[in-house]
């Protein structure tokens, strides 16, 4: 109880830092969304503004510390981490927010980070909860070709309901389908294909792409640009899985496959598919495109930001959960713990990564940084950090770096469009790398840990954090990532 009180107090303090800066009445009738105007950016950069927007490099320490603890906590101090991680993330986030608000006199960046966090968690959370009410029971033979079909279907579905939604809908049917011969590699390739690579075609698909959409990347840009690389990676990974699964089946023998099956698929809680469709539809409520009533905005930095999309997602979450089939929830062994963990970890990540974003942008605008930033370095830089840290903030950091090379600001949607129009395929490299490399470790993408946890609950002995990388990512995934890099260079050479 004492811990809960501390968390509540820190949460209120954390959000109070964000809350400063709402000085403009929300009743203004100007419907123009000005998330951050060029004049506001001049203030940010110190051109005669109200605060210094250049944090000290030591301010990155909470970000590094948090990500380091995410990687090492479950391995070396598991009891402490699972019990105290909410307190750790709130404390570290609060330190950075207090530094920005009181030392830098900068309320703009924390408020902006809060809006992005709410948008992120509203999408991921609503997809997770609503998909938990859909139970798929596949009474099929556990054959390699059936497994490959399910994985490819998951790769397509991930672009419609997100990697989180697709992973939660399909992981339990996938485990049940292979219950007589389930191996760790089954789960690992599920993470590779469904939880990561599959979601590279739409902003709904994967968290970093959704953050890019919030920054101003057009919704269908990813589909148009990433389709060849998505198809290439899904086909190659599926082929590798097919070979491994065929070899595994031969070792197990004919008795490993249940021949007494009905060859049928039954779906319980199918009405939740409607709620998933609503959530995905709400993504299109872009306040920069659709004119909304004045009550749908919050005043922010001389302009307005809409909260309607996020409110509708959360309402759909509540209604969808309330109307979910109890038998479907029980069949999926649904709990809120995975999304609770994601919510706490990411609020800390979004808060603590602010200094890193600012410093990387500043470095990219320097002569040294501009020389180092190329399509190749952005691909591998984004990828390596997406694999060992988390791909959502990594995407923002390297997008900020790429734009900073040309004096563009990631916080300006007009600058994002200018960046897209450049001949270098930098955003394509950042987008592909952030999604594909997110599969390199358990912490690369939000669904990875969820899938691992569900597999272990079902008796699958999953590899450790290091074992996952050494035995699977470096052996099977890394060669595909290298080939994808060459394919990007080949197809964009003109």
**Mind listing the pLDDT tens digit for each residue in 164-175?**
889 988 998 999
Note the Cα 111 to chain centre separation in Å.
20
Q: Is residue 52 part of a domain?
A: yes
Give one DSSP letter per residue of 325-336, joined into a string. -HHHHHHTT--S
Name the more confident of 216 and 425: 425
Residue at token pair 């380091």: 68
Contact 468, 188 (CB under 8 A): yes
CA distance linking residue 236 with residue 241, whole number of Å: 9
The pLDDT of 247-265, averaged and rounded, is 73
Number of domains making up the chain: 1
CA distance linking residue 261 with residue 238, whole number of Å: 24
Q: Is residue 289 part of a domain?
A: yes
pLDDT tops 70 at residue 32 = no
Q: Is residue 4 part of a domain?
A: no
Q: Is residue 1 part of a domain?
A: no
Q: Enter the pTM of the model.
A: 0.76
The pLDDT of 463-483, averaged and rounded, is 93
**Mind listing the pLDDT tens digit for each residue in 136-184?**
887 777 889 999 999 999 999 999 888 988 998 899 899 988 988 999 9
Say whether 381 sits in a helix, a strand or coil: helix
Picking from 484, 467, 488, 452, the residue whose alpha carbon sits closest to that of residue 175 is: 452
Check residue 328 and give left, alpha or beta (phi > 0: left; psi -120 to 50: alpha): alpha
Give one DSSP letter per residue of 352-369, joined into a string. HTHHHHHHHHHHHTSHHH
In this structure, what token pair is assigned to residue 143?
Answer: 């054959």
Domain that holds residue 405: 20-491
Q: Is residue 415 part of a domain?
A: yes
Q: Supply the pLDDT for residue 16.
A: 37
pLDDT tops 70 at residue 45 = no
Q: Is residue 212 part of a domain?
A: yes
Q: Is residue 6 part of a domain?
A: no
- Angle among Cα 33, 31, 296 to the nearest 5 degrees reads 85
Q: Is residue 290 part of a domain?
A: yes
Surface-to-core class of residue 318, CB atoms within 10 Å of its CB (0-12 exposed, 13-18 middle, 19+ buried): exposed
Picking from 110, 35, 97, the residue whose alpha carbon sits closest to that of residue 300 is: 35
pLDDT tops 70 at residue 197 = yes
**Mind listing the pLDDT tens digit for each residue in 339-349?**
888 889 889 98
What pLDDT band is residue 290 in, cutting at 50, 70 and 90?
low
Contact 236, 483 (CB under 8 A): yes
Picking from 133, 273, 117, the residue whose alpha carbon sits closest to that of residue 207 is: 117
């Amino acid at each position: 109880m004492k811990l809960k009180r501390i968390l509540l107090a820190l949460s209120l303090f954390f959000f109070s830092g964000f809350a400063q800066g709402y000085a403009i009445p929300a009743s203004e009738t100007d419907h123009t969304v000005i998330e951050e105007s060029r004049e506001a950016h001049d203030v940010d950069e110190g051109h005669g503004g109200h605060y210094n927007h250049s944090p000290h490099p030591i301010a990155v320490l909470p970000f590094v510390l948090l990500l380091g603890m995410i990687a090492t906590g479950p391995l070396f101090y598991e009891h402490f981490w699972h019990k105290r991680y909410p307190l750790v993330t709130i404390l570290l986030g609060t330190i950075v927010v207090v530094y920005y608000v009181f030392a830098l006199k900068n309320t703009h960046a924390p408020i902006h980070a809060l809006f992005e966090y709410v948008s992120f968690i509203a999408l991921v959370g609503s997809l997770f909860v609503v998909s938990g009410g859909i139970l798929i029971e596949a009474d099929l033979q556990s054959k390699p070709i059936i497994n490959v079909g399910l994985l490819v279907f998951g790769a397509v579905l991930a672009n419609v309901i997100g990697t989180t939604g697709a992973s939660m809908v399909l992981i339990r049917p996938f485990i049940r389908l292979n219950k007589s011969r389930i191996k760790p590699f089954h789960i690992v390739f599920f993470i590779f294909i469904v939880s990561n690579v599959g979601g590279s075609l739409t902003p709904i698909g994967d968290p970093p792409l959704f953050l890019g959409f919030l920054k101003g990347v057009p919704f269908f840009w990813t589909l148009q640009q990433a389709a060849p690389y998505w198809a290439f990676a899904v086909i190659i990974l599926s082929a590798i899985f097919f070979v491994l699964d065929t070899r595994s089946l031969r070792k197990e023998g004919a008795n490993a496959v249940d021949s007494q099956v009905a060859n049928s698929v039954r779906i319980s809680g199918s009405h939740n598919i409607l709620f998933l469709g609503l959530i995905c539809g709400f993504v299109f409520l872009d306040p920069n495109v659709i004119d909304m009533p004045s009550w749908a905005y919050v005043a922010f930095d001389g302009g307005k930001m809409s909260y309607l999309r996020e409110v509708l997602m959360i309402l759909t979450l509540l209604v969808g959960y309330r109307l979910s089939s109890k038998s479907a929830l029980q069949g999926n062994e649904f709990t809120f713990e995975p999304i609770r963990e994601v919510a706490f970890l990411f609020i800390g990540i979004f808060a603590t990564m602010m200094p890193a974003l600012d410093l990387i942008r500043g470095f990219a605008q320097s002569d040294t940084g501009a020389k180092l930033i190329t399509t190749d370095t952005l691909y591998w830089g984004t990828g390596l950090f997406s694999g060992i840290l988390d791909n959502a903030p990594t995407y923002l950091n390297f997008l900020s770096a790429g734009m900073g090379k040309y004096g563009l600001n990631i916080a300006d949607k007009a600058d994002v469009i200018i960046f897209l129009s450049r001949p270098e395929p930098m955003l394509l490299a950042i987008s592909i790398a952030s999604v594909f490399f997110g599969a390199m470790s358990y912490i690369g993408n939000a669904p990875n840990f969820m899938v691992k946890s569900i597999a272990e609950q079902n008796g699958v002995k999953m590899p450790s954090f290091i074992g996952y990388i050494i035995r699977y990512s470096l052996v099977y995934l890394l060669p595909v990532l290298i080939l994808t890099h060459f394919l990007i260079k080949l197809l964009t050479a003109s």
